[in-house]
Amino acid sequence: MRRHHRREMKAPEIMLSPMIDMIFLLLVFFIISTMYMSEIKTMPIRLPVARNSETVSKSNFNVTIKKDGSVYLDDTQTNMEQLVANAAVESKRDSSFSVIIRCEGEAEYRLVVTLMDKLKGAGVTRFGLATDVGDG
């Protein structure tokens, strides 16, 4: 007669090192992907350079003014009146509504001032002007 020895069952080990590596990879992926989300929806233009600018992470409307005078909301061409009407509706709905204006350096200054004036008249109080970061 053969005796069966009881083998002690070892608890499975959880290997933390690969799990931590995967968590850091996911974290880096989400950080990088959210940094470029606002640039995906906008038109590619050459912005003026500013050395002392501040980075804003949240904006409701990204408006682009090209040097030929055309106006874009995100990547869709629109006219100034329609843009102002949409902004007025959104600003009444959301008290923290903001507009970032991206304007090519060669565009007329008058267009930016006109747009800001019309937006202010429609009740929008939070504006930002987009720039490229200058060399240190």
Given a cut of 60, whether residue 136 has pLDDT beyond it is no
Alpha helices in the chain (DSSP H): 16-35, 37-40, 80-93, 109-121
Single pTM value for the model: 0.60
* pLDDT tens-place string over residues 9-54: 777 788 888 899 999 999 999 888 877 665 555 666 666 666 666 6
Kindly list the domain boundaries of the chain, sorted by start residue.
42-133
Question: Does an H or E element contain 73, and which?
Answer: strand 71-73
Note whether 42 and 77 are within 8 A (CB): no
- The encoded tokens of residue 53 equal 């600018």
How many Å apart are CA 126 and CA 106, to the nearest integer?
A: 24
Query: 42-133: what CATH class?
Result: alpha beta
Given a cut of 70, whether residue 134 has pLDDT beyond it is no
* pLDDT tens-place string over residues 72-127: 988 888 999 999 999 999 889 888 888 888 888 888 889 989 999 999 998 888 88
